[in-house]
Structure 1
């Protein structure tokens, strides 16, 4: 069974989804239901993984958190999971191109396939697909929309400039 809660954020109300194993998805306000297929969701207001995910996301948006420490329950193909795991290696406040991500997983000719897998990343923000940009550094497609992608990257740039 999957559980969900809403989570207010500067990029709109996100829907957090978890199983008893881990966080399954962070969905955008107008997410295409075909992008991340989940099935029925039960209310999970007191689900410990969802409560902790919401707490960590609030810390991220406040500029107090640069990484997430949550159990993850990836749902996808072996290739997608490989790409999504590689997203976790992109440091906070940095970006990588689709080509660089393809090279990082040992598939240098697969930048388009990496882009497709990136677009289906169910764990937006937590697995930072917003840190993947076009080869010339330009912003490219993003499930949350390009304004949200720009906001997330700007938040990380600003937070990186603050003294700790």
Structure 2
């Protein structure tokens, strides 16, 4: 699945910051996408999308939890390596693009691209990968008013990395 749009979702959960859509293909979650500033819900079409909605809701109440779902493995071998490394970053912690790149012997640009291509938001926590850290938390992520950056900051606050 290339890009998940709301009309292609098998379920959509409404949140305080927008909605989170889920798409299922062949009994696997193929995509989870955050839609900032879109406040809609869509009842789950099947048991797996209902379970994904339940787990996402639980994560939104308990930020230390991880989603445990059967997922469709997509992306290049390099992206899959990067996503696996992202999944090892605990809730409440971050890594910079440079740190993750050094660990995997890849450029920060490759890490950034994998974040952009992440088809499974929240399941693969690319929001835990940031540009740089400073005394005030992550900086260098771009315009803090941009919807994607607002969501990233919200998630990092939710997980306890940033102070509210």
User: How high is the TM-score relative to the length of structure 2?
Assistant: 0.76
Looking at structure 2, the residues matched to 24 and 5 of structure 1 have their Cα atoms a distance apart, in angstroms, of 12
Gaps of 5+ in 1: 31-42, 159-164
Match of 2:39 in 1: none
> Once the two structures are superposed, what CA deviation does each residue of 1:67-116 show, in whole Å capped at 9, x if it has no partner?
111111122111111111111101011001011112232x1x41111111
Q: 1:51 to 1:139 in 2, by over 3 A?
A: farther
| Bigger strand share | 2
Equivalent residue of 1:25, what SS? strand
Looking at structure 1, the residues matched to 156 and 63 of structure 2 have their Cα atoms a distance apart, in angstroms, of 15
Which stretches of structure 1, 4 residues or longer, exceed 3 Å deviation after superposition?
141-144
Match of 1:19 in 2: 25
CA contact (8 A) 1:98 1:134 kept: yes
Aligned: 1:6 with 2:12: yes
* More relative contact order, 1 or 2 (CA 8 Å, 6+ apart): 1
Match of 2:53 in 1: 54
Match of 2:112 in 1: 115
Q: 1:47 to 1:21 in 2, by over 3 A?
A: same
State how many pairs are aligned: 145
User: How high is the TM-score relative to the length of structure 1?
Assistant: 0.76
Gaps of 5+ in 2: 2-7, 37-41
Equivalent residue of 1:52, what SS? helix
Task: Give the CA RMSD over aligned residues.
Answer: 2.7
CA contact (8 A) 2:64 2:159 kept: no
> Once the two structures are superposed, what CA deviation does each residue of 1:29-51 show, in whole Å capped at 9, x if it has no partner?
26xxxxxxxxxxxx982322211
